[in-house]
């Protein structure tokens, strides 16, 4: 029989959820409208620290349509213990509980929720809720907080302590070349297009359906169940579509808690949507300060690395990141140490934002590496190759694979790096200085235990499912391709389902582990279907496949075909009919390493990238344009080159934002983020983005994960801002060590 070309793993299948999204059929959390739904509008607190002394809601209650105003004074009871309010990803500390008591922990903290029949009534009434406070002294000045940096006694689960090697102090004292620089990264907010939102459907039978903007349906389900003391079996969380997450949806945010509080109080359906301004009152990438001291021989060989960093957290939780480990892992250098601590401020707790820790610590470290290359009078790419480490230099373990050398070579070739002038300020176009910079990116290649289900119907349609989510990364598409590949069914026959807490167990979608983990589980479930099909085929009259085992057959176009005799085949339909089956179902669990275990493993598992950037800087105005980026990525097996490229593009764009635009500014007097809107918080727009060339280098790696997949959601941002900053130095001769590099910093 004819064999159609496989369109499974490795093919650039267009997003299977694309049509639903562009036609508006995909419904997001705030687009559900159960009957008798109340609209909840959040009243945000005005001070950074202190307590509420009184709430006057009489005027607000007088607004037609207002049904109730929920505050800490009239809220329903919730679980008492701290641990009942924790979620899968919460750091050590005492999780914030909205409307719990009169204490104010951060500016913008919700202090009331107005419930009304219309959104407009709720919003208007929210402006009339009068809250009186007793303010206490606060600190939201990161520099001041850094002076009291500390190492939390209880570490976050995925924290990796930097390991010291050799004697860096002694090596530094002897080093003929030494650079010591201090870097700073501003607070950034995730700003996904879709604001955080929850619609709760209060069902007649007392069960609760929660449409939530979250990166983990089961994480939110478990959290609500324990915080509200309601059996998880009564709570179903749905998140089939997510308008961007970047980490802001890893932990349940206060919108979902408030919606649940209101729904249980009123026993009615409720919708709560954060405003864009309120999106600046919860999770954010921590501010960071990083001091890098490097020593080298005259020929540029690194002899010492001291990598120290501090990131911001809140007073009530210790959010920790792996900031200093990357620099210690990536370079061959006999003496190295790291030191990391956190600094607490009166803000909401910082949290994971795309490549947490690495986007900060690797990027800033790569700016220091550029300074040492300059000191050694070496081309920055040649410097990196001179100090290249084949192994994980911090842990002394081999990588399952590291094709960074190939990424440098292919990236440099595509970029035309050989034409670079060694000295800064040597390239010019009209009134613009031109600069070229390079940086290395690095991220974990993680795997998380994940289950998937598969169900083959008698008509040959297949459904594959898992409770995880597609945060825009392409998980639906990757699942479809893996199912296609394993069972030889065309993608049109396959439906991938995600975003439902009722589906097989999955962790949150994050850490770039989705494709590797969900993919492996889907493959196992489909292999299990394949085995059951073959068994069913044995019931077909005349046994066309004889005693063929699973390795003796292929699955092609809805048929089981003998490898040795392609004329011998049984259709799925015939096999199922012969066995009297209407459907075949399977559920399998893929297991693997988890992020916190990396350092204890025999081998290190990481993705790498080489980023080359061209900038043009208007010397008079200080305006920087990033005119070209080449990002060469070594990330194992690529399941879908189209969605993979999109992930890297998105990461690079966010990296350009980190380099030039993104910065949440603090008014330390009010203790409040000031630029809490997209007019004043700048993200790159189309006009800021020019040519981005994405290269995937060949990196076969059967060890790293079952499918050889390493994940791509985060690596694109790591190092990108460093390449841009290094290019700005090459253009202007000026080192700006504080990101973002805004016009004022270039002109002072
Ligand atoms: Mo990502 S910061 O793990 O969503």
158 found inside a domain: no
Residue 748 pLDDT > 90: no
Statement: residue 43 has pLDDT above 70: yes
SS3 category, 465: strand
Residue 594 has pLDDT above 80, yes or no: no
Asked whether residue 12 is domain-assigned, the answer is no
Tens of pLDDT, residues 130-143:
999 999 999 999 99
Secondary structure class of 487 (helix, strand, coil): helix
Spatial contact of 341 and 318, defined as CB atoms under 8 Å apart: no
Rounding to the nearest 10 degrees, give the CA dihedral for residues 226, 230, 232, 235.
-120
> What does the pLDDT average to over 172-201?
98
Kindly indicate the confidence band of residue 206, based on its pLDDT and cuts at 50, 70 and 90.
Answer: confident
Please tell me whether residues 289 and 181 are part of one structural domain. Answer: yes
Q: Write out pLDDT tens, residues 233-268.
A: 999 999 999 999 999 999 999 999 999 999 999 999
Picking from 465, 439, 437, the residue whose alpha carbon sits closest to that of residue 453 is 465
- Asked whether the beta carbons of 346 and 49 are under 8 A apart, the reply is yes
Can you give the pLDDT at residue 653? 98
Supply the pLDDT for residue 599: 43
514 close to ligand 1 (CB < 6 Angstrom):
no
Q: pLDDT per residue over 512-532, tens digit each?
A: 999 999 999 999 999 999 999
Q: Would you say 589 and 449 are in contact if contact means Cβ atoms under 8 Å apart? A: yes
Both 439 and 460 in one domain: the answer is: no
User: What is the Cα 271 distance to its own chain's centre?
Assistant: 26
Has residue 3 got a pLDDT over 70? no
CATH number at residue 609: 3.30.365.10
Assess whether 301 and 439 both reside in one domain.
Answer: yes
Phi and psi torsions of 616, nearest 5°: -125, 125
Distance 658 CA to ligand 1 centre (A): 16
Instruction: Tell which of 592, 612, 639 closes a domain.
Output: 592
pLDDT at 570 over 90: yes
Active site residues: 714
Q: In whole angstroms, what is the distance from residue 402 CA to residue 409 CA? A: 13
Residue 474 has pLDDT above 80, yes or no: yes
Please give the average per-residue pLDDT across 315-338, as a whole number: 98
**Which ligand 1 atom minimizes the distance to the CA of 713?**
1
Q: Distance from first CA to last CA of the chain, Å, rounded?
A: 73
Q: Which helix (H) or strand (E) holds 626?
A: strand 624-634
Task: Give alpha helix (H) positions in 76-157.
Answer: 119-126, 142-146
Q: Which of 592, 626, 649 is the last residue of a domain?
A: 592
Domain-embedded: residue 409: yes
Look over the chain and give the mean of its residue pLDDT values, rounded to a whole number.
96
Which atom in ligand 1 lies closest to the alpha carbon of residue 354?
2
As a whole number of angstroms, the distance between CA 329 and CA 703 comes to 20
Q: Which of 115-119, 500-504, 597-601 has the lowest mean pLDDT?
A: 597-601
CA 86 and chain centroid, separation = 20
Give the model's confidence band at 6: pLDDT under 50 very low, under 70 low, under 90 confident, else very high.
low
What's the rounded Cα separation, in Å, for the pair 32 and 439? 45
Is there a contact between 66 and 40 (Cβ–Cβ < 8 Å)? no
Same domain, yes or no, for 741 and 656? yes
**What pLDDT does 593 receive?**
46
Residue with tokens 């920055």: 380
* Ligand 1 probe mutation, 447, 448, 510, 715, most atoms within 8 A of CB: 510
**Ligand 1 centroid – CA 247 distance (Å):** 4
pLDDT(1) > 80: no
| DSSP 8-class letter at 245 | -
Residues 327 and 200 in one domain: no
Q: How far is 98 from 420, CA to CA, in rounded Å? A: 55
Q: Which residue has the higher pLDDT, 596 or 303?
A: 303
Rounded to an integer, what distance in angstroms lies between the CA atom of residue 344 and that of residue 144? 10
**Domain containing residue 120: CATH number:** 3.90.1170.50
Domain of residue 370 covers 168-187+284-446+601-746
Domain boundary residue, one of 257, 280, 303? 280
Domains: count for the chain: 3
Instruction: For residues 545 and 726, give the distance between their C-alpha atoms in angstroms, rounded to a whole number.
Output: 63
**Does any ligand 1 atom lie closer than 6 A to the CB of residue 98?**
no
The pLDDT assigned to 471 comes to 96
In a domain, 13, yes or no: no
Q: Point out the ligand 1 atom lying closest to the alpha carbon of residue 249.
A: 4
Binding site membership of 510 for ligand 1 (Cβ less than 6 Å): yes
Please check whether residues 480 and 580 belong to one and the same domain.
yes
Q: How many helices (H) and strands (E) does the chain have?
A: 17, 29
pLDDT the model gives residue 2? 38
Which of 254, 52, 30 has its CA nearest to residue 262?
254
Report how far ligand 1's centroid is from the alpha carbon of 63 (Å): 41
**Is 157 within the bounds of a domain?**
no
Only one residue has tokens 């209060």, namely: 202
Residue nearest to atom 4 of ligand 1 (CA): 247
Share of the chain above pLDDT 90, in %: 96
Q: Which residues contact 413 (CB under 8 A, 6 or more apart)?
A: none
Question: According to the model, what pLDDT value does residue 602 have?
Answer: 85
| Mean pLDDT score, 444-452 | 95
> How far is residue 718's CA from residue 720's CA, in Å, rounded to a whole number?
6
Same domain (yes/no): 97, 177:
no
Please say if the pLDDT value at position 601 is more than 70: no
411 CB within 6 A, ligand 1 = no
Spatial distance between the Cα atoms of 131 and 109, rounded to a whole number of angstroms: 12
Instruction: Tell how far the Cα of 356 is from the centroid of ligand 1, in angstroms.
Output: 7
| pLDDT at position 706 over 60 | yes
**pLDDT for residue 595 is more than 70:** no
Within this chain, do residues 578 and 546 fall inside the same structural domain, yes or no?
yes
Output the CA 355–ligand 1 centroid distance in Å: 6
Asked whether residue 153 is domain-assigned, the answer is no
Give a yes or no: residue 151 inside a domain: no
How many residues comprise the chain?
748
Domain co-membership, 275 together with 351: no
Measured in Å, residue 715 CA sits from the centre of ligand 1 at 11
d(CA 158, CA 562): 47
**Whether residue 371 is found in the same domain as residue 401:** yes
Instruction: Give me ligand 1 centre to Cα 11, in Å.
Output: 26
Closest CA to 259 of 325, 182, 202, 339: 202
Instruction: For residue 159, tell me if it sits in a domain.
Output: no
Identify whether residues 458 and 435 lie together within a single domain: no
Q: What is the pLDDT of residue 4?
A: 45
Q: Decide whether any atom of ligand 1 lies within 6 Å of the 493 Cβ.
A: no
For ligand 1, say whether the CB of 125 is within 6 Å of any of its atoms: no
Instruction: Output the CA torsion sign for 29, 30, 31, 35.
Output: positive
Q: Are residues 357 and 301 in the same domain?
A: yes
Asked if 370 contacts 175 with a C-beta cutoff of 8 angstroms, the reply is no
pLDDT band at 178 (very low <50, low <70, confident <90, very high): very high
Give yes or no for residue 507 CB within 6 A of ligand 1.
no
Mutating to test ligand 1, I would choose from 244, 247, 446 the residue with most ligand atoms within 8 A of its C-beta, which is 247
Ligand 1 binding pocket includes 250 (Cβ within 6 Å): yes
For the stretch 381-439, pLDDT in tens is: 999 999 999 999 999 999 999 999 999 999 999 999 999 999 999 999 999 999 999 99
Tell me how far apart the alpha carbons of residues 683 and 190 are, in angstroms, rounded to a whole number. 10
| C-beta of 468 in contact with ligand 1 (< 6 A) | no
Q: Is 711 in the pocket of ligand 1 (CB under 6 A)?
A: no
Nearest ligand 1 atom, CA 355:
2
pLDDT of residue 221: 98
Q: Is the pLDDT of residue 5 over 70?
A: no
* Ligand 1 centroid to residue 246 C-alpha, Å: 5
């Amino acid at each position: 029989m004819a064999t159609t070309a496989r369109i499974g793993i490795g093919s650039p299948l267009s997003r299977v959820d694309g049509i639903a999204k562009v036609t508006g059929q995909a419904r997001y959390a705030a687009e559900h409208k159960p009957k008798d739904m109340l609209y909840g509008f959040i009243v945000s607190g005005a001070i950074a620290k202190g307590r509420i002394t009184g709430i006057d809601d009489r005027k607000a209650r007088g607004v037609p349509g207002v049904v109730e105003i929920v505050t800490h004074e009239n809220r329903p009871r919730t679980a008492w213990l701290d641990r009942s309010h924790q979620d899968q990803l919460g750091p050590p500390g005492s999780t914030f509980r909205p409307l719990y008591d009169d204490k104010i922990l951060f500016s913008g903290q919700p202090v009331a929720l107005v419930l009304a029949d219309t959104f407009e009534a709720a919003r208007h009434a929210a402006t009339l809720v009068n809250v009186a406070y007793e303010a206490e002294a606060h600190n939201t000045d990161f520099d001041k907080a850094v002076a009291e940096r500390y190492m939390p006694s209880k570490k976050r689960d995925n924290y990796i302590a930097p390991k010291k090697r050799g004697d860096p102090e002694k090596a530094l004292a002897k080093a003929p070349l030494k650079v010591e620089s201090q870097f700073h990264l501003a607070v950034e907010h995730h700003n996904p297009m879709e604001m955080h939102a929850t619609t709760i459907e209060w069902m007649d039978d007392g069960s609760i359906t929660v449409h939530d903007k979250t990166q983990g349906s089961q994480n939110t389900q478990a959290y609500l169940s324990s915080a509200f003391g309601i059996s998880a079996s009564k709570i179903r969380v749905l998140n089939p579509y997510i308008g961007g997450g970047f980490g802001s949806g890893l932990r349940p945010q206060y919108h979902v808690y408030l919606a649940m509080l209101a729904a249980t109080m009123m026993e009615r359906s409720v919708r709560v949507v954060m405003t864009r301004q309120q999106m600046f009152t919860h999770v954010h990438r921590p501010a960071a300060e990083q001091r890098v001291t490097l020593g080298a021989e005259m020929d540029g060989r690194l002899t010492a690395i001291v990598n120290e960093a501090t990131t911001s957290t809140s007073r009530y939780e210790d959010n920790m990141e792996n900031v200093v480990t990357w620099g210690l892992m990536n370079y061959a250098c006999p003496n190295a140490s790291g030191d990391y601590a956190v600094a607490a401020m009166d803000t909401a707790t910082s949290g994971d934002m795309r490549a947490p820790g690495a986007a900060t610590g690797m990027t800033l470290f790569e700016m220091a590496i550029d300074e040492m290359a300059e000191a050694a009078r070496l081309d920055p790419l040649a410097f990196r190759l001179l100090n290249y480490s084949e192994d994980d230099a911090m842990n002394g373990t081999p990588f399952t694979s590291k094709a960074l050398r190939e990424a440098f070579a292919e990236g440099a070739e595509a970029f035309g790096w050989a034409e670079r002038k060694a000295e800064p300020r040597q390239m010019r176009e009209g009134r613009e200085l031109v600069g070229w910079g390079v940086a290395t990116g690095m991220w974990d290649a993680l795997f998380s235990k994940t289950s998937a289900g598969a169900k083959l119907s008698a008509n040959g349609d297949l459904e594959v499912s898992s409770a995880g989510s597609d945060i825009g990364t392409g998980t639906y598409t990757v699942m479809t391709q893996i199912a296609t590949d394993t069972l030889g069914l065309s993608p049109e026959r396959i439906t991938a389902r995600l975003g439902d807490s009722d589906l097989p167990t999955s962790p949150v979608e994050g850490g770039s582990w989705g494709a590797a983990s969900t993919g492996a589980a889907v493959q196992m479930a489909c292999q299990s279907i394949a085995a059951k099909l073959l068994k069913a085929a044995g019931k077909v009259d005349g046994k066309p496949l004889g005693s063929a085992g699973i390795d003796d057959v292929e699955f092609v176009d809805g048929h089981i075909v003998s490898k040795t005799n392609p004329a011998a085949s049984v259709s799925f339909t015939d096999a199922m009919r012969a066995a009297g089956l209407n459907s075949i179902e399977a559920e399998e669990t893929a297991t693997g390493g988890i992020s916190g275990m990396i350092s204890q493993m025999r081998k290190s598992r990481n993705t790498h990238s080489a980023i080359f950037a061209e900038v043009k800087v208007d010397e008079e105005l200080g305006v920087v344009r990033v005119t070209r980026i080449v990002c060469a990525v070594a990330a194992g097996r690529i399941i879908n080159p189209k969605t993979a490229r999109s992930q890297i593009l998105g990461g690079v764009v966010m990296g350009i934002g980190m380099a030039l635009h993104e910065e949440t500014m603090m008014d330390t007097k009010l203790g409040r983020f000031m630029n809490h809107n997209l007019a004043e918080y700048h993200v790159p727009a189309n006009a800021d983005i020019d040519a981005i060339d994405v290269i995937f280098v060949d990196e076969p790696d059967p060890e790293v994960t079952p499918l050889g997949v390493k994940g791509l959601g985060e690596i694109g941002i790591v190092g990108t801002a460093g390449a841009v900053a290094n290019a700005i130095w090459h253009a202007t001769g000026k080192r700006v060590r504080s990101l973002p590099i805004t016009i004022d910093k270039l002109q002072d």
